[in-house]
Every structure is written in structure tokens, then in C-alpha cells.
Structure 1
Amino acid sequence: MGVADVVFVGGPVFTGEGRPMDGLAVAVTGGRIAAVVPEAEASVLIGEATRVVDLDGALLSPGFQDAHVHPVSGGMELLQCNLTDASDAAEAVSTVLAYAKSHPDEPWILGGGWSMDHFPGGSPVRGLLDAIERPVLLLSRDHHSSWANTAAIRLAGLDASTPDPVDGRIEREPDGFPAGTFHEGAGALFTGVQPEHDPELAYRGLLAAQEALIALGITGWQDAAVGASSIIADPLDAYERAVGEGVLRVHVRGAQWWERDQGLEQVERMTARRDALAARVPADRLTIASTKIMVDGVAENQTAAMLTPYKDPHGHVTGNRGLSFVDPAIVRQAVTALDAAGMQVHFHALGDRAVREALDAVEAARVENGPTDNRHHLAHLQVVDEAEVTRFVETDAVANLQALWASHEPQLDELTLPFLRDGAEARHYPFGDFAREGVRLAAGSDWPVSSADPMAAIHIAVTRVHPGSEAPPLGGEHQRLDLETAMAAYTSGSAYVNHRDHDTGWVREGYLGNLVVLSPDPFSVPAEEIHRATVQSTWIEGELVYLRQTDTVKDPS
């Protein structure tokens, strides 16, 4: 054990599971953790060139990993018409008008981030944007709906006779003309006329996203949409360019997008694309060995696949149980074939019927292929029937949590819960049930759908209440996680689902020096103050890649 490049002392260490350990020194040499020893033994690791980081009571943790995120589209939205900071409909409209005025040469106004709860029924109308004579097309914050003005609608040739696509819905005026909001696959009706995604913008978006995510302590992620999606720009070229130019600091696992209107021929194409990329770039920096299957939509626009029907605004039961975007029989065949080909499957499964259909597919693959180490995972899991919880364990499926959503907030309380069956709130985001049953947990943000801040999400996972809210815990206190379980989901749990648990996600000798420093130590404050824990510094392979301007982390070097 020789002299280290960096030594962390003076604070508790969360190793990737359990309670933090006190009195430890962590040494990093050559990009890897060389020693985890009692502080009394740290002196032998410190030489003249060693960088000694005094944590001063801050928590040292493995770097966070986001198991479900859209960095390139999120970064692009930061660079386009960005509505994420708008507090209401009026501010959203004024933001679009101001952007159009300041960008007179852009043929289309593109971007996104508007919130459904800011508009009646969750659906903004075209007239709000008709002061802009150019086409406007803006994705909702959750990327499941698009808002267009009249110029865009007419340019796309859409009118009252345009049918709803099988995987989406057009909001309509009384005469049937499109009202301005296009849900799910209906957003693709603009594909033939809207500008193609700009590769240079995508690249700049990736770099902007990487900078923002690293500042939140995120050192690796799974991109949940790589491939030919018309709604979200394919990020693969941007990633590969960043690897080639040596600027991709994080490690990335990409999930290739399963096209809903195509069949099993996609399996061979995806595995070939995976293998071709592996021949060009280091797999420990970038791989696309996952497949993203979007089983259903979202509950707020009533496209999430449910076991029971939605209600109408008057509380009457309808015939709508949401949409299964891919026939369940095809999903079972596809997952079995992907599993046999060594591909991980990353499901969007939000409604309780979608969760059942996804687990049925994983079970079918297991019966046909036997146990594998592909680590299939289901993301979102908004409504989960009690009978499905044990099936995660039986099928070795991972529950991929977007914990920030697991609390009362306007979009849930106004656009979702009133339209679900009685008692559905009790089955929302059943994290506690998962933990008690021994289900493997990973965690992600779905940014830019919602904040990418892991500590904001961990706060909700532990409390089920937004900071400052007087609402009761969503689903009941029994659905809370303890802090160590929530932290593990965002570190070692996501490392597992990303197939990087052999060298990341833990503070262990031989692992990469991918680390984050948090102050105050979230384990040292009351649960209602966990959100105050802020990233002080982020380290990737032993290099300081982000330092908050604060005196909390003392770095005498």
C-alpha cells in the first residue's frame, strides 16, 4: 500500500449499503480506491503530492447513478425554448413569446418543459401560441404530450378528419379540429414537417447535461431512449463523438428504443448495433446493451394501462383502461428473444396492467431461457397491484424508482387520482412493499421530466412528502423507505442495473474513485431536512470534476 493520489478524511463514509461508517480514510490511486482504512492508519498513505480532502463532517458516498434519464434531450431543452421554470400558464406563454422574439431566425420554435397542471384538463390550446406566426411545437415536461400552435397544425396537414393514431390521442375542439395538445404517439404526426434533430445541438445538449448532472453528484447513468424515436433525439452519435473527443466523463448504458410499429426483426438489429458499437468504443465508457420497451403511457392523460377503467370528470366509470402500446403477446416474444441474445430490457411500466404485462414477459423469458444475468428492470411503477410485488423477486426483476414523484402534488391530485378507481392511491409507488419483500431497487429521475437531483428524490423516498408540504404521506407511512435503502438504490442499486456493480456504486478497494461529498450529512439531520444535503464535490476516477463554491469541503491542496 503506497502513497495515494487523494485521501479523504474527517467524515462518515456511506459504502453503498447500511449505515455510514465513522473513522475511516479512503485513498484513491490511479483512479481507483486503493484503501479504506482506519483514519489512524492514513498517514502512511499521504505523501508530498497527495491531495488530502478534509470532509469536515460531510458524508463521502459512491457517486450517484441515474438508472432512467434522457440527458441529451434534457440538455437540448436547456438550449431551446425551456419552460421548466414557468410557474403557471401565463408565464409559460410569455416565455415562448419572449423566446420567439429573441430568436427571429429559427423557422420553428422547439423545446419543452410545460406542466400539465398549469392548463385546464392538462391540455394547453393552440390559440395561446397563435401570436407567433411560425410553427411552435413544445414537449410537455413528461414528454408524453406535445403543444402546437395553428401554424404547426396546418403545416402538418392536420384537421378534423385526421384520425387518432393507435398509440395516441388528439385533443379536439367541438368541431373536431385539433385543439393544440397531442398525447403520446399523436406527437409524431409532426414528424414529416418539423426540422430534423440538429446533431450539433444534440452534442452541445449532451455536454450541457453532463455538466449539470455531475454537479448533482451523478457519475453514470442509463439513457432511456437511444435509437430512432421521433419525439426524442437519438443521442448515440453525440455520445460516440464525446467518447472520441475524450470529453465523456461519465459511464453510460444506453437502452435502444423498441419501435411499436415494428416486430421481432428489431432484436437482430439491436444486437448487431450493440456489437458494432462495442468494436468502436470502450464498453466501460459507453454501451447500448439494453432495450427500452414502452409498455404504456401516463396516468394524467389516461394512457397508462390500468386493470380497472378510468373515471370521467363526473366520477362515472368509462370504458377506457389506457393503452398497451405493444401487444402483450409481442412483448413476451420480444423479451424472450432479447433475453436469449443477452440484452437487458428496460420497461416503461406505469399502470398496474402494464406492470403485470411486463412481469409476464420477464417470466416468459425466464421459463424459456432459464435464469440469466440480464437484469431486466421496470421503471416508473406508479400503480402496482399487490399481487405483483412478489413477482419481482420471483423473476429477478429490478424495481427502478422515480422517487421524486411519490408525493401529493397538483398533477397527481388534480389530473390523476380523481380519475382512478377508488382506493388507487394506496397502490401508488409502493416502495415500502418492495423493500419488505426483498425486491432489488434502483433509482432514476427521468430528467428532464422532473428534477435530476438525487437528494430531492431521496428526500421524497424517505418522507413521501415534499419539503414544506402539509399533505399526508402518499400511500401511507408504510410506503416510506429508510435513508440507507434510498441511498443504496441511487448508488449500488443503480450500479447493479447498469451492470457496473463490479467497479462502481460502492466504496471498496479496487473500485473506481467515483465519489460524491454531501453536506450536511443526510444521516445526521431529521428526515424532513434530507433535501438540504447538497453536493460539495464530485469525483470521477479520482479526479475532481465539480467543486461547489463553499468552505464546507476543506481542500488544503
Structure 2
Amino acid sequence: MTADVLFTGGSVFTGTGSPLRGHTVAVTGGRITAVVADAEVGALRGPGTRIVELEGALLAPGFQDAHIHPVGGGIELLQCELSSAADAEEAVALVAAYAEANPEEPWILGGGWSMDHYPGGAPTRGLLDAAVGDRPVLLMSRDHHSAWASTAAIRAAGLDAATPDPVDGRIEREADGSPAGTFHEGAMELFAEVRPATSEDLAYRGLLRAQEELLALGITGWQDAMVGQGGGVHDPLAAYRRALDAGELKVHVVGSQWWRRDVGLEQIGGLLALRDEIAALGREERLSLATVKMMVDGVAENQTAAMLAPYRDHHGHDTDNRGLSFIDPELLREAVERLDAEGVQVHFHALGDRAVREALDAVAAARAANGPSDGRHHLAHLQIVDEADTARFAELDAVANLQMLWATHEDQIDELTLPFLQDGAEARQYPFGDLVRDGARLAAGSDWPVSTADPLAAIHIAVTRVAPGLDAEPLGGAHQRLALETAFAAYTSGSAYVNHRDHDTGHVREGYLANLVVVAPDPFGLAPEELQRAAVRSTWIEGERVYAAPDAG
């Protein structure tokens, strides 16, 4: 049988190991039908065969993002988007410009501001008031663990000096106790009753915009880390269903249903019912909901990540704060046992070392109660992992879901995190190398819009542990670097495994879907410090080109 498409003239990363050289990949009917030596390609070429000359580029499985928030990211691109701001002054100018261009909007909503641009990581309401006057403004931080509000927004929510901190969050305050303008974690929900709801149309447009952005980065599938009501983020499920019905959902999506931390085990029935409702659509190759997302802790920058040792104050003295465990560890264990028994995958947000331990303890309890399962439970973020716990990933068959882009020195970690951690904590930051040496299975994700969704940018840092152009030592030490093959595998076959799609995606292999990405120059031919030069040239889903770089022809 002749092929519909032949990819030839480059190297082929098959999903693991070193790339193949001198091989051609054939695609017929949307699937890979042959991976053969160039000398054997003649029989596959027919009069209607499309020849894709790689010209030395790399052909690889399409990237899969195992932890991302696409609908929220797309919505932010359509609202007041601040991630491009280089400093606080530029962020305020962007808010002012957006307000002037959108005088009819009752609230100015959006996000993307960086904590390291503001003293103590906490921007004040006065900055917004000066820019937009008496208009309500509510903007999510880049990491979506804090919100920045204007005086008008604070007043609309009825908040004042007498408003207590919620149990799962904190309000930054002025000297008299009045809200200063920054609200961390659960305190963001104090605006839930007054901020405008996201319309279904805006969410749908956000999804399509996000899909366009992600396809251009070579991403052909993902796990949405927050489906359901939670964290102040619009539930994306209706947008996914609309895109599915309209034939506009080109990628495959696993939705992680949000575990509400204000509700207990009684929510499991509803989670299972929604899983089964989506499964009954018979479109699981495009959309499934067999995963539950559990937010174990917060983030280190605002000192809500759950730590084994106490945070320090500005003078280097121990405080009584060890961060927050958002879910009681006993409840966490019981919930994971129940979910695992029902065949549900658990997707943990676990950033601090205590949170990682609590999540692993919950997986251990499930293994003890239920025996081995195919749950493929995974822990995302893993900023700090105690040495005693890295080997437990392999022992418990738990996947380490890495956000590789964060494993470098930068202002947010150097100014807002490391100075407030114990001595020696830097050596435990994102211990990718230790996890690999201890046999952990890896997946990878971006957490976009927290940071760029570009897998190649993340892979560069995983391999070097230094951001491009930065004159610094590798964060945590050179021994925490990943080999390029390992980083590529995490973003392809590793994430496909987590998404339960390793039977037909994540590999360049006969019978697999032709979900592919072309990258040039070939990263495997570059020095590690030159990996930033690699870029996506084209993206293919089921043998159809869905993205081509502007100069790709």
C-alpha cells in the first residue's frame, strides 16, 4: 500500500532513546504505517503521496502537556493580559491602556502579573486606583495563586479591616488591617459573589484561541488540570463539549475534575457520575474525565506551600509557618483510596516537601487497600522533594509530573522563595536528576498560563538548569539536569502514559496516530546551551498538517 504522506530527510525521535537516522516515516489513513530505512521507501511512494522533506529537522511524536489550563489561558489572552510586562510600571500601563480601550466593561479582569515585580510579591490597590480611578479591577497573578484588586473591587466585595483571613488563604493588609490589594489562595474567593461571571461564549472563544496557540507549539494533546468550579477559574467543560459537538476540538483532552476542598467524600458520587456521562458520549479519543485533581498545598512564593521545616522571616529566623495542607491528610488518604478503587486517576498539586509526602502517603494507602492499579496517579510541580521520598515514586508507581521551565534561577525563586527557606533547600529544588536515578516515571506539563506552554523552552531548562542568557549556576546543581532524550520522552511518551493514551499516541510507531511535530534545527544536533534555537516548524494531527510556521512553505 502506498502512503498518503512520507516524512523523510531528517532524524526521528520515536518516543524513547536516541533518534533514528536515515529513516522515513509513512502515514496512511491518519496513522503511522511504516518506519523504514530510507533505502526501503520506494514501495511506499505513489503518485498521490505527499513528500515532506525534513531537510535535517527532527520528526517527533506530538508533545502532550500533562498539566495545563488552556481555557483560562485563552480567556486571559482575550482580557487584560500582563505576562509581557517587564516590571510593575509596565504592568500598570497595560492596565490603564486596557481600561481606556474597554470603557464599557464593568470590571477589568485578566492576569499575568509577576510577584517579583512588587515589594514582598504583593502589589497594592493604590497602583490600580491611580491607573483606572474608581473602577473594579481583579487580576490573577502569573502563578494564579494570588489576585490583585483595586479599591473599587474590594469595596464591591464588602471587604474591610474586620474581614478575617479564610482558613485556606491570606489577605495582605495595610497598617490598620485594611486589605492592601493582594489576596492569596482561598482569599481570592472573597470576590466570587461580585466579579462578573465568564460567559459561555467567552470561554469557547478562549478554548479555540488556546488551541491555536498550543498547536503552534507542537502540542497535540493535554490534561486540563482544573475542570469544575474551583480556584476562581471558569469551568471549561461546556466549552470542550461545544467544541466537540462542532468538530472544532482537534486535540485530545483529559479533564481533571476539581476536588472541592470545602466538601468531603460525599462529592465522589458526583465526580463519578460526570466521568460516566462524558464517557457515554463515546468520544473518549477526544475528551475524557476519568481524573480528579487534588490541590494538596499552595506555592512557596506566598509561603502557602506545605513544608516539613518552617519558613524563615526576613531576618533569617524560623517562623511558626510551615505552609498549608489544603486537604486534611487523613481525608486525603481515604479519598484517594476510594477514587483509586473506582478506577479514577488522581492528579495532585504537590509543591512543598510535606505536600509531596502527604500525596505519596495517600497513594501508598490506596496501594495497600486496593492492590496494584492502572490509575497512573501523578504528582505535579515537585518544587521540593525530601531525599527520603524520591525513591517512593517508583515504589508506588506514581508519576513525577515535571514543570521543567521553573527549574532555574530567576527573580521569583531567588527573591521570594530561597531567602525564606531553610539552609540547604536550594539543593532540593526540582530534583529531576534524583527522581530519574531512583527510577521514577516522568511526565511533563507547563501549567500555562502560569508560564509559557512552549515544550522546547522547558526542555532547554531541563537539560541545562539555566535560563537562556542567564549567568548563573545550575539550580540545585548540575546533577539535577536531564538528558535530552529523557526530557523529550517526558513530554511525549511520558505524558501519553499519564493521559492513558500511550496505546496510540506518544510514539512514532506502526499503528499509532500520526500526531507529529517537526522541529528545526534538530535539537539532538545542538549543544545544550543552543537548544533555545530549536523551534516548531509544523504540527500534524492524524496525518493532517494543523500548523505551519509562517516561513515553512
Q: TM-score range by the shorter chain?
A: over 0.9
**What is the CA deviation profile of residues 232-265 of structure 1, one whole-angstrom value per residue up to 9, with x for unaligned ones?**
1110000010000001000000000000010001
Code of the residue aligned with 2:507 in structure 1: it is W
**Does 2:330 align with 1:329?**
yes
Contact residue 311 and residue 422 of structure 2 kept, 8 A: yes
Q: Which moved more, 1:487-496 or 1:32-41?
A: 32-41
User: 1:192 and 1:26 mapped to 2: Cα distance?
Assistant: 54
Q: Which amino acid aligns with 1:468?
A: G
How far did residue 410 of structure 1 move? 0.3
**In 2, Cα distance between equivalents of 1:364 and 1:532:** 45
Match of 1:223 in 2: 224
Supply the AA of the counterpart residue of 1:536: R
1-structure distance, mates of 2:275, 2:348: 18
Tell me which residue corresponds to 1:67.
66
Tell me, in whole angstroms, the C-alpha distance in 1 between the residues paired with 2:136 and 2:470.
39
Cα deviation, residue 197, structure 1 = 1.5
- The verdict on how the C-alpha distance between 1:153 and 1:281 changes in structure 2, with shifts beyond 3 A counting, is farther
Q: Does 1:255 align with 2:256?
A: yes
**In the aligned structure 2, how far is the partner of 1:14 from the partner of 1:206?**
29
1:346 matched residue in structure 2: 347
Report if aligned partners of 1:347, 1:377 keep a CA contact under 8 Å in 2: yes
Aligned to 1:374: 375
**Equivalences for 1:414-433 in 2 at 5 Å?**
414-433=415-434
Question: Which residue number in structure 1 is paired with residue 195 of structure 2?
Answer: 194
Conservation of the 8 A alpha-carbon contact between 1:537 and 1:546: yes
TM-superposed deviation, 1:230 = 4.7
Q: Please show how residues 517-556 of structure 1 align to structure 2 within 5 Å.
A: 517-551=518-552
**Which residue does 2:467 correspond to in 1?**
466
**CA deviation map 1:387-437 (0-9, x unaligned):** 001110111000000000000000000000000000000001000001111
Report the Cα offset of residue 280 of structure 1.
Answer: 2.1
Contact 1:240 1:281 in 2 (8 A): no
Alignment correspondent of 2:125: 126
On the 8 A contact 2:186/2:231 being kept in 1, the answer is no
Q: Does 1:452 align with 2:429?
A: no
CA distance in 1, matches of 2:514, 2:430: 33
Q: Which residue is 2:100 aligned to? A: 101
Deviation at 1:281, TM superposition (A): 4.6
Q: Which residue of structure 2 lines up, in the alignment, with residue 42 of structure 1?
A: 41
How far has the Cα of 1:231 moved from its partner? Answer: 1.1
**Which residue number in structure 1 is paired with residue 238 of structure 2?**
237
Distance 1:212 1:408 in 2: 27
- 1:138 — aligned with what? 139
Aligned equivalents of 2:114, 2:536: Cα separation in 1: 27
Structure 2: segments with no counterpart, 5+ residues: none
Structure 2: which amino acid aligns with 1:453? D
> 2:421 & 2:233 partners in 1: Cα distance?
29
Match of 2:27 in 1: 28
Amino acid at match of 2:397: D
Match of 1:3 in 2: 2
- TM-score, normalised to structure 1, is 0.98
- Alpha-carbon separation, structure 2, partners of 1:199 and 1:464: 40
Please give the alpha-carbon distance, in whole angstroms, between the structure 2 residues aligned to 1:436 and 1:315.
Answer: 33
Question: 1:549 Cα shift?
Answer: 2.2
Aligned alpha-carbon RMSD (Å):
0.7
Residue number in structure 2 paired with 1:18: 17
Q: Counterparts of 1:155 and 1:221 in 2: how far apart (Å)?
A: 37
* Equivalent residue runs for 1:487-502 within 5 Å: 487-502=488-503
In the alignment, is residue 307 of structure 1 matched against residue 342 of structure 2?
no
Identity of aligned residues (%): 70
| CA distance 1:230–1:294, shift in 2 (3 Å) | closer
* Residue 435 of structure 1: aligned partner: 436
Structure 1 runs of 4+ with >3 Å offset:
none
Cα distance between partner residues in 2 of 1:538 and 1:374: 30
SS at match of 2:317: coil
- Deviation (angstroms), 1:443: 0.2
* Aligned residue type for 1:89: A
Matched residue type, 1:407? T
Q: Match for 2:89: what amino acid?
A: A
Q: Give the match's secondary structure for 1:299.
A: coil
Report the alpha carbon displacement of residue 375 of structure 1 after superposing the two structures with TM: 0.2
The 8 Å contact of residues 382 and 429 in structure 1, kept in 2 or not, is answered as yes
What is the TM-score when the length of structure 2 is the normalising length? Answer: 0.99
3-state secondary structure, aligned to 1:386: coil
Paired position in structure 2 for 1:52: 51
Distance 1:404 1:330 in 2: 32
Task: List runs of 5+ in structure 1 lacking aligned partners.
Answer: none
SS in 2 for 1:280: coil
